[in-house]
Chains A and B, each alone.
Chain A
Amino acid sequence: MTMNVNAAAAGGQLEDEYLAEVPLRKERRIRGRSIAVIAFLTFCAAFFCLPLYVILVTSFKTLDQIRLGDIFSLPTEWTIEPWITAWNSACSGITCDGLKVGFVNSLAILFPSLVLSIVLSSVTGYALALWNVRWAGPFLFLLFMCAFIPFQIVMIPLIILTGMFGIYGTVWGIAVVHAITSLPLLTLIFRNYYKDIPREIMQAAVMDSGRFWQIFFRIIVPMSGNILIVVLILMITNIWNDFLIGLTFGGLGTQPMTVILANVVITTTGETLYNENMAAALLTAIPPLVIYFLLGRFFVQGITAGAIKG
């Protein structure tokens, strides 16, 4: 899903810029070959949309119809009851307050996680890109290697560490772990972006007796609009869709939406309410989608402005 929206946004964006800069070519008539291509692409799109279709129609069916097992049929009797139940009164354990609990928790996790991870890595990226830091090269290499370490390997040490600091099982624990695990990638992104800031600007700032933090807050941060949007989208999706960190570090009452969703849909030894589960899955997927639609345009701008290149 992520990739599709991305690609679509990128496509639209490139086309716009292309049209603005290059004189229009003469419009060609649609030929047989392009019809074939379009037909093929339509078929592909339909194929990939099939699961979404099934999820969508199932979420509007009654359980009696679902039990018949015909997953492609349209609902004979439309109902939005599953959506309401999923949001308001689906059970996660004995607490039957629906997904809205998880939604609130996810928001509570999202903000501190975003702030911590972005603050930490933008400063690191800034220092590594624009200041003469001793061991900067090896440090960067180390960070880069860290990006490849699976989370599971460092999970237990992180649990012990957060336990020692008394933040295990709280929103802060989750935020700190998100900040730590996203540090390598985000630092690299910020560093590559800041690397393109002309040396002259830095030299002028230093000459005006600017110090590390002054330059950062007065010059660098105001110039970081594009890259902040890129990182924001990356991190919002990342944190919202995260399951493992939320499950591992989320204690009592701080479980994110994904964990609540899993509680709702994973059947152990009982009946499965497919309509409710499908509605719940869609509800959980909506927030990152909305972010993409709202900010997708800026995402491409940010990337083309130098985030990923170099």
Chain B
Amino acid sequence: MKHLRNTVAAGLAVALASGAAAQDDELVIYHGWSTPAEVSALQVLRDALAEQGIAWKDMAIPHNSGVNVSLVNMVTGGNPPNAFVESNPGVYRDLAARDLSLDLTDLYESEGIAENLAPIVRELSMVDGKFVKVPVALHIDGMVYWNMDVAEEAGVDPASWTSVDEMFADFDKVEEAGFIPAAVGSQAFQVGYLTHALTAAMAGPDIYNRIYGAEPDITAFETEEFADVVAAVRKMSEYAGPETQNRPWNETTNQVINGDALLHIMGDWMKGEWKAAGKEPGVDFGCIPIPGALAVPVTSDAFGLLGGQDEATTEAELTFAATTLSPEISGAFAANKGATPARTDAPADLLDECNIVVQDLLAVDGGAVQNPFNISDSDWHQAIWAVMFDFWSNPDMTTEDVVADLQDEYDAIFY
């Protein structure tokens, strides 16, 4: 028995020692990225940090298995990472309440970072008036990527569309030519993203923020603009064709890549699939925002940093932030990941055609809104997904039903 006890004690001692092994010049980086493109982007960052004597301890957590839940768990267990990919402002507020939030405002000002970010990215990087996030990759939630060969064969030119109506008008032509006009897959999140992208594009930032804001304004549902959005979602479901049932987004993108469908409206991360298939923007495929968009929703993948650490660790964390946000690294990271750089002054040779489209969009004053994950109550935006997915799947559901269902959900969540 005594022997056993000693073994257990020794085991515990080893475990403790290894738990406390994180050194000052070593940062634990927590994220949910594993595809080749994502990894090559992370490697850019790791190499840049290694040059400055900061070692990278990687900690990957499966995406959507509750990334922020795991983060909270690790904080609770007393073993939090130094840098973590996180967008939800609520998590930053929780960390601030535990004195574990690192305020980057001084760094942003002194290094001249703030003025080199698009206004919407500045907004996305702040929580309660302080800079706490380090944006690394920007995505527009609703871009239109079309197959140029299909467009040519069907005799349409997506680049010339100036409104959603013009797009729909051309869809019949595409169908006659034997192609699926719009390859949206029937998954709740795809319909959800399509809905908020169309809301921003067709109804504009004001109505978008009234619907997706922290405290939604249900009168926004009674507007004519919202009714138009719902009607557009219905049209998309009709043009998407029956074979899109339950298709993951990347297979849906593959329908466009293979030349079965004309276009896909998705986050512009679908560029990853195009690139993996060896296709070039501007040559094989084109990219535009939703035609006539009044605003585009922006997702910013960003790292947060852990506050309340000793001086050396804090110093290393600040170096991490400054390095990540340097124009060269920002550009290289985004180029590898297939995103748009956070900094507007990233080297031009790292940008492709689609990046330039995105940068031009972000430069428009008031032309961008924040992704719902950043601003909505998560119950609320899940509820919108659920209602819109019902609508998508059930042709008998009307716009009035959607509004009534959303009002019910609102009452259930906010009262």
Contact = CB atoms under 8 A, between A and B. Distances in A.
Specify whether A and B are partners: yes
A69 to B, nearest CB: 7
A275 interface: no
Given A169-B19, A172-B15, A94 B77 contact: no
Nearest to B137: A269
B46 A94 contact: yes
B15 A167 contact: yes
B64 interface: yes
Contacts of B275: 271
Contacts of B18: 170
B35 A271 contact: yes
B155 interface: no
B412 interface: no
A95 interface: yes
B57 interface: yes
B219 interface: no
Contact of A271 (B19, B139, B276): B276
Most B CB atoms within 10 A — which of A94, A96, A243? Answer: A94
A183 B304 CA distance: 39
A69 B79 contact: no
A214 interface: no
B43 interface: yes
Interface residues of A, number: 45
Contact size range, B: 35 or more
Interface string B34-74: 11111100110010000000001111111111000010011
Contacts of A68: 258
Interface stretch (A6-14, A20-28, A154-162, A234-242): A154-162
A93 B15 contact: no
A163 B46 contact: no
A57 B276 CA distance: 21
B251 A69 contact: yes
A156 B18 CA distance: 23
Contacts of A251: 19, 59, 74, 79
A251 B28 CA distance: 11
Interface in A251-281: 251-252, 259, 262-264, 266-273
A171 interface: yes
B28 to A, nearest CB: 6
B357 interface: no
A168 B19 CA distance: 8
B21 to A, nearest CB: 9
A163 B76 contact: yes
Interface stretch (B108-116, B122-130, B265-273, B347-355): B265-273
Contact of A93 (B11, B60, B65, B254): B60
Nearest to A157: B76
Contacts of A262: 62, 65
A296 to B, nearest CB: 31
B16 interface: yes
Contact of B272 (A112, A162, A243, A271): A271
B57 to A, nearest CB: 6
Contacts of B73: 155-156, 159, 248
B62 A263 contact: yes
Contacts of A169: 19, 74, 77, 79
Contacts of A272: 35, 248, 250, 273
Contacts of B337: 269-270
A93 B33 contact: yes
Contact of A247 (B64, B65, B255, B338): B65
A162 B59 contact: no
Interface string B69-95: 010011011110000000000000000
A287 interface: no
Contacts of A96: 39
Nearest to A67: B254
A170 B19 contact: yes
Interface in A135-194: 155-156, 159-160, 162-163, 165-173
A168 B254 CA distance: 43
Most A CB atoms within 10 A — which of B58, B62, B70, B273? Answer: B62
A106 to B, nearest CB: 16
B317 to A, nearest CB: 17
Contacts of B43: 94
Contacts of A92: 34, 60
A215 interface: no
A270 B12 contact: no
A91 interface: yes
A135 B132 CA distance: 55
Most B CB atoms within 10 A — which of A91, A263, A266, A270? Answer: A270
A90 B36 CA distance: 9
Given A252-B28, A271-B250, A263 B77 contact: no
Given A163-B77, A269-B267, A247 B70 contact: yes
Given A166-B16, A172-B11, A266 B79 contact: no
Contacts of A156: 73, 76
A32 B369 CA distance: 69
B257 A268 contact: no
Interface in A57-104: 63, 67-69, 90-96
B186 to A, nearest CB: 16
A263 B36 contact: no
Contacts of B234: none
B32 interface: yes
B238 to A, nearest CB: 22
Nearest to B257: A67
B218 interface: no
A162 B272 CA distance: 40
A79 B73 CA distance: 41
Given A68-B258, A172-B15, A263-B61, A91 B77 contact: no
Nearest to A175: B11
Given A95-B60, A167-B16, A269-B35, 14 more contacts: A67-B254, A90-B34, A155-B73, A160-B76, A160-B77, A162-B77, A165-B12, A170-B15, A172-B11, A172-B15, A263-B62, A267-B63, A270-B269, A271-B35
Interface of B: 11-12, 15-16, 18-19, 28-29, 31-39, 42-43, 46, 56-65, 70, 73-74, 76-79, 139, 248, 250-251, 254-255, 257-258, 267, 269, 272-273, 275-277, 301, 337-339
18 contacts: A63-B276, A69-B251, A91-B36, A91-B39, A94-B39, A94-B56, A96-B39, A156-B73, A163-B76, A168-B19, A168-B78, A169-B74, A170-B15, A262-B62, A269-B35, A269-B267, A270-B37, A271-B36
